[in-house]
Amino acid sequence: MADQGTRVALVLGTSAGGVGRHVAMLAGGLVRGGHRVVVAGPPSTERAFGFAALGARFAPVPISDRPRPLGDLRAVLALRTLRGAHAVHAHGLRAGALSAIALAGTGTGLVVTLHNAATAGGAVGAVHRLLERIVARRADRILVVSPDLGERMARLGAGRVEAAVVPAPSLPPSGRDPEDVRRELGTGDRVIFLTVARLAQQKGLETLLDVAAALREPREDAGSVPPDQAGPVRGRGPGERAPEAVFLVAGDGPLREGLQGRIDRENLPVRLLGARSDVADLLGVARALVVPSRWEGQPLTVQEALRAGTAVVATAVGGIPAMVGEAGLLVPYGDVAAMRDAVARVLADEGLAGELAGAAARRGLGLPGEREALEAVLAVYDGLS
């Protein structure tokens, strides 16, 4: 373990979600372990996550979510003050690249955790590729949340790449009767499929709406079910109709207006619930968590579903396949027919849904927690000596 009193600097950019929560978890755990911790990032992150209240010193640094030359220059100058730290641990591509530039030639050990893939094209994509090369060549250690990110960094010349441990915080137990939750939601006897996501481009929510629309139409071609997912439907007698589904989306974001407009125009069985603090309640009444994302690393919502024993229907992208295993049905991103068939199987086959739920609970028991995450980063910091 790192020596008690070691100064660790955690650096992050603009965040309102998982990255900020992860940094807050690390900061609090390191402080409790006797380490001196500085968190450097935009003032908005301190307001959102309260690093100072956890015992860390907060240093305001203007790391934005997109290139801003003057702001980036100020960020580099501010980050140079961290050169006396035993370890600087940056979270995210921009925070990592700016830290690498600031610490060049100082001998300060730099660790970068990449939480997301750079999926943009055009000029923004070109900037991202440049930042990736900077991180790959200058960071001492790179931690990645999915195998594809690790392979990309290795191709770009990174020396030491390892898997990151990014656990979801434990959800407080629901404590509510599922029937009370259903009555409050007004779903009647429809089967609930839940999506927990920011309403943003990465989350692939247009695919979710396509699936909701497709489920209302008679299926013309059964051949789109992947061979390893084919099988008899259990739980219904001959001629008995499948139950109806309703799709609940917990989260908010810039695409809300456009999504709601389509839901209203097409009268889709989809409800946008907005940001919710009762995810444990929602998972308790959902037959499955549906994740239609373009890309994910170690999504906190999937970890929460596994711990709750909730089946998963998701795209086979990023770190999802390794996390979900046999606890869900995985389909290619953007393949509406395949996702429609996977949702339809879980909707119609209660036996399959139960098997997936049992597998989810077993996988949830083996997920890493805060202790494992802290032990992992301390071992990385020790390796910088």
pLDDT tens by residue, 27-76: 999 999 999 999 999 999 999 999 999 999 999 999 988 888 899 999 99
Length of the chain: 385
More confident residue, 137 or 128: 137
Q: pTM of the entire structure?
A: 0.84
Average pLDDT on 224-236 reads: 45
Q: What is the mean pLDDT of the chain?
A: 90
Does residue 244 have a pLDDT over 80? yes
Confidence at residue 228, expressed as pLDDT on a 0 to 100 scale: 43
Confidence at residue 238, expressed as pLDDT on a 0 to 100 scale: 54
Confidence at residue 360, expressed as pLDDT on a 0 to 100 scale: 97
Average pLDDT on 305-312 reads: 96
Does residue 2 have a pLDDT over 80? no
Confidence at residue 174, expressed as pLDDT on a 0 to 100 scale: 74
Confidence at residue 315, expressed as pLDDT on a 0 to 100 scale: 98
More confident residue, 337 or 229: 337
- 266 CB contacts (<8 Å, ≥6 apart)? 209, 213
Does residue 96 have a pLDDT over 70? yes
**In CATH, what number does 178-365 get?**
3.40.50.2000
The closest alpha carbon to 298, from 144, 105, 95, belongs to 144
Q: Is 156 exposed, middle or buried (0-12, 13-18, 19+ CB in 10 A)?
A: middle
Confidence at residue 230, expressed as pLDDT on a 0 to 100 scale: 40
| Dihedral Cα 120, 121, 122, 128, nearest 10 deg | 50
Over pLDDT 70: what percentage of the chain? Answer: 91
More confident residue, 122 or 133: 133
DSSP assignments along 67-96, one per residue: --HHHHHHHHHHHGGGGGSSEEEEESHHHH
What are the start-end ranges of the E strands in the chain?
A: 7-12, 36-41, 57-60, 87-91, 109-114, 141-144, 161-163, 191-196, 245-250, 270-274, 286-291, 311-315, 328-331
Average pLDDT on 148-172 reads: 91
Residue written as token pair 């009555």: 183
Please, which pLDDT band fits residue 168 given cuts at 50, 70 and 90? Answer: confident
Tokens of 6: 């070691």
Confidence at residue 170, expressed as pLDDT on a 0 to 100 scale: 78
Over pLDDT 90: what percentage of the chain? Answer: 81
Confidence at residue 95, expressed as pLDDT on a 0 to 100 scale: 97
Average pLDDT on 329-351 reads: 97
Please say whether the structural domain 7-167+368-382 has been given the CATH code 3.40.50.300: no
Indicate where the chain has its CATH 3.40.50.2000 domain(s).
7-167+368-382, 178-365
